[in-house]
Amino acid sequence: MTTPVQGHHIVRAFSEELEQLTASVATMGGLAESLVSDALDAIAARDSDLALDVIQRDKRLDTLQRDIERQIIRLLALRQPLASDLRVCIAALKIAADLERIGDLAKNIARRTRELNEAEPLALSKSIERMGRLVQGHLHEVLDAYASGEIGGALGVWQRDDDVDEHYNTLFRELLVCMADDPHIVGPGAHLLFIAKNLERVGDHATNIAEVVHYAVTGTELLADRPKGGSSGTP
């Protein structure tokens, strides 16, 4: 039979494990955000060394995801959480998966940047930077919402998902026009197209995280369709 004192210790230990899980996801989120930020800095500064650093640091993100998965498996097996505690575990699992994918996208951007740096600078690189900073802001906002448990920031990002799409669609059209006018920029222009698409996907993952944060806090899903800009295709 579990005594009141033992029960208190079990509840406190479980609470500490959930807090550690949330802290682990926050650590992973901080690293993912820094990878995106540094990938954008590498574009702005045409810094191939920084881009290489982003590529190499992505491995740390993979390790953190595996650690979080092990924590969750242990909690589910030993604690059998219910209700809000179970939502904490499910949210951590989903967010960690989104963050791992964001790291992959930042790595892809960095790889394209190293290739792009071999060519002459393109004026539309500035448009990529602006789009990237918008995406980075969305990611920062949803990670803050996750850490604080306040859904306002998460809802704001979810409602503004079409901002990223509109930036991408405009940039897509501008790049196609430039590449049609000047065949010499087809190569670097293609790299910019892929970078823009990767940034758009980072924005989608940030919106995914917003939905998970809303579910974790409220226990309900966002059932309405996401706001979406028009599609210009996928490079």
d(CA 82, CA 17): 15
pLDDT digit string (tens) for 161-205? 899 999 999 999 999 998 899 888 899 999 999 999 999 999 999
Residue 123: pLDDT band (50, 70, 90) is confident
Q: What is the structure's pLDDT at 80?
A: 82
Inter-residue contact 103 to 62 (CB < 8 Å): yes
Burial of 155 (0-12, 13-18, 19+ CB in 10 A): middle
Per-residue pLDDT band for 225 (boundaries 50, 70, 90) equals low
Cβ contact 10:2 at 8 Å: yes
State pLDDT tens for residues 33-63.
999 999 999 999 999 999 999 999 999 999 9
* Residue 228, pLDDT score: 58
Buried b (16+ CB within 10 A) or exposed e, 158-193: bebbbbbbebbbebbeebeebbeeeeebeebbbbbb
pLDDT in tens, 19-38: 999 999 999 999 999 999 99
Buried b (16+ CB within 10 A) or exposed e, 55-91: bebbeebeebbeebeebbeebeeebebeeebebbbbb
Tokens of 17: 């494990």
Q: Which two tokens stand for residue 213?
A: 């944060």
Residue 93 has a pLDDT of 96
Q: What are the structure tokens assigned to 74, written together?
A: 């242990």
Rounded to a whole number, what is the largest CA-CA distance in the chain? 79
Report the C-alpha gap between 37 and 145 in whole angstroms. Answer: 19
Residue 8 clears pLDDT 70, i.e. is over it: no
